[in-house]
């Protein structure tokens, strides 16, 4: 992207000359004839520099400087002054202006100061992003719960992708938290102040799909009594979450593809083109590449959606998170129902650890609710569960191994020391419980 500059001057010939200089030097330039126009145009967290003449009718450059710095004290502001205004320009520097340039000035003088200001702006924005990532890391851990290696990796990927405009395709089983992850991608990114619109493609009847997604004008079809804003338009500026995207009819896939390619939308029954700026997060349970081979999903649409990918782990793949997740949700449910939190006995813990959780976190929340209400079935199907002492000991041993591997990030030497086991014994137990060192491996862990 070209570096951005807003140039403010009430004289049109000067504005045009500066625009030509800067555009030839590779800058994206926005011109303003007065200070109020600049304030209207200036976006939040503007990535560039503001350059303004000092003497202008109405709001002058000094007043504009104060308004701009009130919005963003770290935004570089360059002031253009006449020779007799130097004392006022020095005062502007004291108030926070980055630099001042005396008229008449050469393109070289302007470009030199501008490039230095842009370097400062880039460093400022990078530092802000780093601070936000540190702050968001703890907040995200409170929403995407779990200390397993799989969840640690997922949170890292979410924080990284949240800052980008890339479309994301998520794969995960039913109940694994796909909509929660999509909301985190939205809430921890620059679109957080705009709309998050969730659409379950499997829940919309095919004959209503086009109207729901793209909207319609009054009279567009029989029964269209008034204008309707579709889900895509409602998400403009924000994030559109398409769950169960594999259920989208082929006839609508081609229309969605065109919208994503053109970044424009026309409501059903209208010729008005609506410009779009949105991010699409799609979720699926089956492999869409397989659906493409079967001929039920468009390959070109898959390429548009599959810019970045997130794989959500099933709960059975991160069993070490089960006890903490169960207790957390049980506590939340007990508070909501106004009931005391019942203890989790060892027999229930054994059930929780041994159960495969085909419904994933959604099933676990249901089990936690039953536990709080003292209803049967809190630990899975107890009729089919192995309640023997040996089975409980096996489940507990597997839990201990997972926790040790996770806390040591796959460092086998540390695990053997922590559990006081010979390496060979540890390998045998991991093999018996289906545990892979690579699932817990840290990039810096020795082999």
More confident residue, 247 or 383: 247
Which pLDDT does position 256 carry in this prediction? 93
User: Is the domain of 257 the same as that of 329?
Assistant: no
Which pLDDT does position 447 carry in this prediction? 44
User: Is the domain of 178 the same as that of 234?
Assistant: yes
Indicate whether 135 belongs to any domain: no
Indicate whether 417 belongs to any domain: yes
Q: At a CB cut-off of 8 Å and minimum separation 6, what does 368 contact? A: 326, 329, 330, 333, 378
User: Is the domain of 181 the same as that of 322?
Assistant: no
The mean pLDDT value for 9-32 works out to: 93
Q: Is 13 left (phi over 0), alpha (psi -120 to 50) or beta?
A: alpha
Structure confidence at residue 389 as a pLDDT band (50, 70, 90)? low
- Name the residue range of residue 396's domain: 316-439
Q: At a CB cut-off of 8 Å and minimum separation 6, what does 277 contact? A: 236, 237, 263
102-113 pLDDT per residue, tens: 888 888 999 999
Which pLDDT does position 127 carry in this prediction? 84
Lowest mean pLDDT among 131-135, 140-144, 347-351, 381-385: 381-385
CA 18 to chain centre: 38
Which pLDDT does position 135 carry in this prediction? 66
User: Is the domain of 281 the same as that of 157?
Assistant: yes
200-227 pLDDT per residue, tens: 999 998 888 888 898 878 766 666 666 7
189, pLDDT greater than 60: yes
User: Is the domain of 158 the same as that of 306?
Assistant: yes
**Residue where a domain stops, chosen among 313, 333, 358:** 313
The mean pLDDT value for 332-344 works out to: 91
User: Is the domain of 179 the same as that of 301?
Assistant: yes
226-236 pLDDT per residue, tens: 678 889 999 99
Q: Report the distance separating Cα 117 and Cα 122, nearest Å.
A: 9
**Residue where a domain stops, chosen among 289, 313, 337:** 313
77, pLDDT greater than 70: yes
Indicate whether 445 belongs to any domain: no
The mean pLDDT value for 307-321 works out to: 92
112-138 pLDDT per residue, tens: 999 999 999 999 888 887 776 666 677
**Long-range CB contacts (within 8 A, 24+) of 259-264:** 259/214, 259/232, 260/167, 260/301, 260/304, 260/305, 261/304
243, pLDDT greater than 70: yes
CATH of the domain at 187: 3.40.50.300
Which pLDDT does position 92 carry in this prediction? 87
Which pLDDT does position 400 carry in this prediction? 83
Which pLDDT does position 382 carry in this prediction? 45
Indicate whether 132 belongs to any domain: no
User: Is the domain of 320 the same as that of 298?
Assistant: no
**Residue where a domain stops, chosen among 126, 156, 173:** 126
| Per-chain mean pLDDT for the chain | 87
User: Is the domain of 381 the same as that of 417?
Assistant: yes
Which pLDDT does position 305 carry in this prediction? 95
User: Is the domain of 214 the same as that of 296?
Assistant: yes
Which pLDDT does position 384 carry in this prediction? 44
Lowest mean pLDDT among 159-173, 224-238, 325-339: 224-238
Q: At a CB cut-off of 8 Å and minimum separation 6, what does 50 contact? A: 5, 6, 8, 38, 42, 64, 68, 75, 76, 77, 78
Highest mean pLDDT out of 215-219, 357-361, 375-379: 357-361
Structure confidence at residue 446 as a pLDDT band (50, 70, 90)? very low
User: Is the domain of 174 the same as that of 286?
Assistant: yes
The mean pLDDT value for 4-11 works out to: 94
Structure confidence at residue 383 as a pLDDT band (50, 70, 90)? very low
Which pLDDT does position 133 carry in this prediction? 65
| % residues pLDDT > 90 (the chain) | 56
Cβ-contact 200, 244 below 8 angstroms: yes
Indicate whether 294 belongs to any domain: yes
Helix (H) or strand (E) holding 50: strand 49-53
User: Is the domain of 254 the same as that of 397?
Assistant: no
Indicate whether 356 belongs to any domain: yes
Cβ-contact 284, 169 below 8 angstroms: yes
User: Is the domain of 286 the same as that of 337?
Assistant: no
Q: What is the pTM (predicted TM-score) of this model?
A: 0.64
Indicate whether 210 belongs to any domain: yes
Indicate whether 444 belongs to any domain: no
CATH of the domain at 113: 3.40.50.2300
Count of the separate structural domains present in the chain: 3
Highest mean pLDDT out of 1-5, 282-286, 435-439: 282-286
The mean pLDDT value for 232-251 works out to: 94
Question: By C-alpha distance, which of 106, 114, 129, 94 is closest to 50?
Answer: 114
């Amino acid at each position: 992207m070209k570096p951005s500059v807003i140039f403010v001057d009430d004289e049109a010939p000067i504005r045009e000359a500066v625009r030509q200089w800067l555009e030839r030097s590779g800058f994206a330039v926005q011109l303003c004839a007065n200070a109020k126009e600049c304030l209207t145009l200036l976006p939040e967290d503007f990535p560039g520099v503001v350059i303004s003449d000092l003497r202008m009718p109405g709001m002058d450059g000094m007043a504009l400087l104060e308004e701009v710095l009130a919005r963003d004290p770290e935004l570089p502001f360059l002031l253009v002054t006449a020779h007799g205004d130097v004392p006022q320009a020095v005062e502007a520097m004291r108030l926070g202006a980055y630099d001042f340039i005396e008229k008449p000035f050469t393109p070289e003088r302007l470009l030199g100061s501008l490039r230095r200001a842009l370097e400062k702006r880039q460093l400022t924005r990078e530092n802000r992003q780093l601070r936000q990532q540190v702050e968001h890391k703890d907040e995200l851990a409170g929403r995407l719960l779990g200390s397993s290696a799989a969840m640690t990796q997922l949170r890292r990927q979410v924080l990284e992708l949240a800052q980008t405009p890339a479309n994301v395709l998520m794969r995960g089983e039913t109940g694994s938290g796909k909509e929660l992850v999509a909301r985190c991608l939205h809430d921890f990114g620059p679109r957080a102040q705009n709309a998050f619109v969730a659409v379950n493609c499997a829940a919309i009847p095919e004959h209503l799909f086009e109207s729901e997604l793209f909207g319609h004008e009054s009279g567009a079809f029989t029964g269209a009594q008034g204008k309707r804003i579709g889900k895509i338009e409602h998400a403009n500026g924000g994030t559109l979450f398409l769950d169960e995207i594999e259920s989208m009819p082929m006839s609508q896939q081609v229309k969605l593809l065109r919208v994503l390619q053109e970044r424009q939308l026309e409501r059903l029954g209208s010729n008005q083109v609506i410009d779009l700026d949105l991010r699409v997060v799609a979720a699926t349970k089956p492999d869409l590449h397989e659906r493409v081979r079967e001929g039920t999903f468009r390959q070109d649409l898959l390429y548009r959606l599959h810019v970045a990918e997130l794989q959500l782990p099933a709960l059975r793949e991160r069993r070490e998170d089960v006890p903490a997740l169960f207790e957390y949700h049980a506590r939340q449910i007990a508070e909501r129902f106004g009931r005391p939190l019942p203890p989790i006995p060892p027999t229930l813990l054994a059930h929780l650890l041994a159960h495969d959780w085909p419904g994933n976190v959604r099933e676990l929340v249901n089990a936690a609710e039953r536990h709080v209400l003292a209803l049967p079935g809190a630990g899975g199907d107890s009729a089919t569960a192995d309640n023997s002492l040996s089975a409980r000991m096996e489940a507990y041993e597997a839990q201990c191994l997972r926790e040790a591997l996770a806390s040591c990030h796959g460092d086998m030497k540390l695990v053997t020391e922590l559990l006081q086991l010979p390496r060979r014994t540890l390998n045998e137990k991991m093999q018996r419980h289906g545990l892979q060192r690579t699932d817990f491996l840290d990039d810096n862990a020795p082999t």
